[in-house]
Amino acid sequence: MEEYELVIGLEVHVELLTESKMFCGCSTRFGASPNSQTCPVCAGFPGTLPVINKKAVELALKAAIALNCKISSYSRFARKHYFYPDLPKNYQISQYEEPLATEGGILVDSRNIRIKRLHLEEDAGKLIHPEDGNFSLVDLNRSSVPLIEIVTEPDIKSPSEAEKFLTNLKRVLEYLEVSDCNMEEGSLRCDANISVRRYGDKGFGVKEEIKNMNSFRAVRKALEYEGRRQIDCLKRGEMLRQGTRLWNDTLQITEEMRKKEEAQDYRYFPEPDLPPLVFDNRMIKEISSQVGELPLQRKERFIKGYLLSEYDADVLTSKKDIADYFERCVEKAGRPKIVANWIMGDLTALLKSTKTDIRNSPVTPEYLVQIISMIEQGNITGVVAKIVLQECFNTGMPPEKIVSERGLSQIEDEEAINSVVKEVISESPDAVNDYKSGREQALSFLIGQTMRKTKGKVSPNIVKNKLLEYLNK
Ligand code: ADP
Ligand code: MG
Ligand code: ZN
């Protein structure tokens, strides 16, 4: 973008996959009826005391380790004060000066985007504004759901790099089962900070923080719009003032929400009701050992070990379940490229159209391997294999049984093939003449007719050779 460059930093909130809330025993299940998952602690009653959820701390540590952060041997919770109807205590328990972890990073196209801090906190409740009525409702089911906040350094240089950062981050957190990262349900939310400066400038420009984006694509769009807007302002000689803006997804623009002077002072102070978090090396080692192979490492291994293309490896490692499925197939069948094609092609289409998770696929890895080996052994043709896959997906029946019960085995009997080919030739004099007068396409038509008559049970290559034999007689 001409003489200006963009400077971007992200703040990402992620709900942790715990059964219960951050400081009480209430369920975190999404979608329950309003205020059915609350208690005096998460509803902010005076006199109640919070108790730290151990699982939440472990998940936060797991994320911090996977993101290459330095774990603080001592960290503390702090109260962040503000007044809002969805925050019953009028403060949020967060971490401030002594966060759980610092100085991490994520690789985006081999560039390290530094993570400044990762800390634990609790979510707020939710306000509902009914369209018919001049009142609002509050649902405290989300109040005190465990969150981690991940804050990057302003290392990101473009909107698409921000989008990739988020994609990679999401993959890591999903892999570790730290969060389901479901953006529609608000499990992952992102605020984006952006400023612009002249190339070569050392200092930073004045930043705006953008909120209210509900997809990674919206983050990219908002940053593209906002970068452009700031550059245009500077070019007109205007001064920028720091503030917060909201993304309007309908109009595809950012709109001013407030200027910095209007921002609250949170009056942070250490939470007196909770002990500090103190970790020893043994505990950190223990959790590190649970982290295991991360998506980027797995992708590299797929490229090197299975000789897959970068693209195939990327798709197959985009979700842990897909990568696991793939490897279970390859363990039995070998043939990584063929397995990859089946998974990424026909199987993915069936899963998508029925909104099925690959983990629950009726076509298990064992069944897909059966189909692939039946093709390899010449039991069925590629055309029939697709039918068998579909049938197996619909019924959950073993592919071998489908083939034998429905008589789908490949026809190899020469006599049988000869008689079909003869039939097709005698029924299609026009196509035969076309072919003989040099129109090659006529051959495809004749192959198609033969395949139809045999319901795809003959190898197209054999059909082609047989037809040519007759046509060239
Ligand atoms: P604040 O005190 O306003 O919250 P922080 O220093 O905590 O600012 O940073 C918040 C986020 O804003 C971080 O992700 C950081 O990388 C980013 N950020 C800070 N300064 C800039 C800037 N000048 N331009 C773009 N992003 C910035
Ligand atoms: Mg901040
Ligand atoms: Zn509760």
Domain count, the chain: 3
Q: Kindly state if the Cβ of 11 falls inside 6 Å of ligand 1.
A: yes
Which atom of ligand 1 is least distant from the CA of 204? 23
How far is it, in rounded angstroms, from Cα 202 to Cα 184? 39
How far is it, in rounded angstroms, from Cα 17 to Cα 178? 6
Together in a domain, 132 and 52: yes
What is the 188 CA–ligand 1 centroid distance (Å)? 19
DSSP codes joined into one string, 134-194? S--EEEGGGTT-EEEEEEE-S-B-SHHHHHHHHHHHHHHHHHTTS----TTTTSEEEEEEE
Q: Which domain holds residue 357?
A: 295-406
Judged by DSSP in three states, 66 sits in helix
If you search the block for the tokens 């003449």, which residue do you land on?
Answer: 433
What is the 323 CA–ligand 1 centroid distance (Å)? 36
Q: How confident is the model at residue 133 (pLDDT cuts 50, 70, 90)?
A: confident
What is the 272 CA–ligand 3 centroid distance (Å)? 19
Asked whether the predicted pLDDT for residue 425 surpasses 90, the reply is: no
- Percentage of the chain beyond pLDDT 70 is 100
Asked whether the predicted pLDDT for residue 200 surpasses 70, the reply is: yes
Q: Which ligand is nearest to the CA of 12?
A: 1
- Show which of 262, 286, 310 is a domain's final residue: 286
For residue 163, CA distances in Å to 16, 109, 156, 160 come to: 21, 12, 10, 5
Query: Mean pLDDT throughout 74-91?
Result: 94
How far is it, in rounded angstroms, from Cα 94 to Cα 270? 9
Question: For position 443, which CATH number holds?
Answer: 1.10.10.410
343 DSSP 8-state letter = I
Q: Kindly state if the Cβ of 152 falls inside 6 Å of ligand 1.
A: yes
- The reported pLDDT for the residue numbered 137 is 94
Specify whether the CB–CB gap between 263 and 244 falls below 8 A. Answer: yes
Bridge pairing between strands 253-259 and 243-248: antiparallel
**Residue 85: is it exposed, middle or buried by C-beta count within 10 angstroms (0-12/13-18/19+)?**
exposed
- Residue to mutate (ligand 1; options 4, 193, 223, 260; most atoms within 8 A of CB): 193
Together in a domain, 375 and 446: no
Considering 71-75, 261-265, 375-379, the range whose residues carry the highest mean pLDDT is 71-75
What is the 56 CA–ligand 2 centroid distance (Å)? 22
Query: Mean pLDDT throughout 110-124?
Result: 96
Q: Kindly state if the Cβ of 7 falls inside 6 Å of ligand 1.
A: yes
Together in a domain, 204 and 323: no
What is the 9 CA–ligand 1 centroid distance (Å)? 6
What is the 190 CA–ligand 2 centroid distance (Å)? 12
Bridge pairing between strands 243-248 and 208-213: parallel
Together in a domain, 127 and 109: yes
- Residue to mutate (ligand 1; options 207, 241, 245; most atoms within 8 A of CB): 207
If you search the block for the tokens 């789908």, which residue do you land on?
Answer: 408
Tokens of 153: 């350094």
Q: Kindly state if the Cβ of 230 falls inside 6 Å of ligand 1.
A: no
How far is it, in rounded angstroms, from Cα 423 to Cα 262? 85
Together in a domain, 217 and 308: no
Residue nearest to ligand 1 atom 6, measured at CA:
153
Per-residue pLDDT of 161-195, as tens digits, reads 999 999 999 999 999 999 999 888 889 999 999 99
Q: Kindly state if the Cβ of 243 falls inside 6 Å of ligand 1.
A: no
Residue nearest to ligand 1 atom 14, measured at CA:
9
Query: Mean pLDDT throughout 340-351?
Result: 94
Asked whether the predicted pLDDT for residue 29 surpasses 80, the reply is: yes
Specify whether the CB–CB gap between 402 and 408 falls below 8 A. Answer: yes
Q: Which ligand is nearest to the CA of 150?
A: 1
- The reported pLDDT for the residue numbered 310 is 92
Residue nearest to ligand 1 atom 17, measured at CA:
9
Q: Kindly state if the Cβ of 244 falls inside 6 Å of ligand 1.
A: no
Query: Whose CA is closest to 122, among 156, 102, 92, 88?
Result: 92
pTM: 0.80
Average pLDDT, the chain: 91
Q: How confident is the model at residue 404 (pLDDT cuts 50, 70, 90)?
A: confident
Specify whether the CB–CB gap between 166 and 21 falls below 8 A. Answer: no
User: Does 45 or 423 have the greater pLDDT score?
Assistant: 45
- The reported pLDDT for the residue numbered 250 is 92
What is the 189 CA–ligand 3 centroid distance (Å)? 22
Task: Find residue 147's DSSP bridge partners.
Answer: 15, 121
Per-residue pLDDT of 299-338, as tens digits, reads 999 999 999 999 999 999 999 999 999 999 999 988 999 9
- The reported pLDDT for the residue numbered 135 is 92
| Phi, psi values for residue 84, rounded to 5° | -160, 145
- Show which of 219, 254, 286 is a domain's final residue: 286
Task: Find residue 11's DSSP bridge partners.
Answer: 151, 191
Q: What is the largest CA-CA distance in the chain?
A: 98
Q: Kindly state if the Cβ of 233 falls inside 6 Å of ligand 1.
A: no
Specify whether the CB–CB gap between 420 and 453 falls below 8 A. Answer: yes
Per-residue pLDDT of 432-443, as tens digits, reads 888 888 888 888
Residue nearest to ligand 1 atom 25, measured at CA:
194
How far is it, in rounded angstroms, from Cα 42 to Cα 25? 9
For residue 124, CA distances in Å to 19, 77, 84, 141, 256 come to: 17, 16, 9, 9, 23
Together in a domain, 168 and 262: yes
Together in a domain, 159 and 303: no
- The reported pLDDT for the residue numbered 2 is 67
Together in a domain, 170 and 145: yes
Report the residue count for the chain.
Answer: 473
- Show which of 236, 255, 286 is a domain's final residue: 286
Query: Whose CA is closest to 146, among 267, 33, 61, 205?
Result: 61
Query: Mean pLDDT throughout 51-73?
Result: 96
Together in a domain, 259 and 111: yes
What is the 25 CA–ligand 3 centroid distance (Å)? 6
Q: Kindly state if the Cβ of 45 falls inside 6 Å of ligand 1.
A: no
Query: Whose CA is closest to 158, among 118, 203, 113, 211?
Result: 113
* Segments in 292-428 forming alpha helices (H): 295-306, 310-316, 320-333, 336-342, 348-353, 365-376, 382-395, 399-405, 414-427
Asked whether the predicted pLDDT for residue 410 surpasses 80, the reply is: no
Query: Whose CA is closest to 204, among 253, 255, 153?
Result: 153
Asked whether the predicted pLDDT for residue 343 surpasses 70, the reply is: yes
Together in a domain, 199 and 257: yes
Which atom of ligand 1 is least distant from the CA of 11? 14
Q: Kindly state if the Cβ of 193 falls inside 6 Å of ligand 1.
A: yes
Per-residue pLDDT of 251-264, as tens digits, reads 999 998 888 877 78
What is the 251 CA–ligand 3 centroid distance (Å)? 39
Query: Mean pLDDT throughout 238-249?
Result: 92
Asked whether the predicted pLDDT for residue 1 surpasses 60, the reply is: no
Query: Whose CA is closest to 1, among 217, 158, 194?
Result: 158
Judged by DSSP in three states, 120 sits in strand
Judged by DSSP in three states, 345 sits in helix
Together in a domain, 228 and 334: no
- The reported pLDDT for the residue numbered 110 is 87
Which atom of ligand 1 is least distant from the CA of 206? 23
- Sequence-distant (6+) residues with CB within 8 A of 59 are 16, 17, 18, 146, 148, 176, 178, 179
Q: Kindly state if the Cβ of 385 falls inside 6 Å of ligand 1.
A: no
Together in a domain, 465 and 374: no
Task: Find residue 120's DSSP bridge partners.
Answer: 148
Query: Whose CA is closest to 165, among 229, 119, 110?
Result: 110
Per-residue pLDDT of 272-306, as tens digits, reads 999 999 998 888 999 999 898 899 899 999 999 99
Q: Is the dihedral of CA 95, 101, 104, 106 positive or negative?
A: negative
What is the 64 CA–ligand 1 centroid distance (Å)? 20
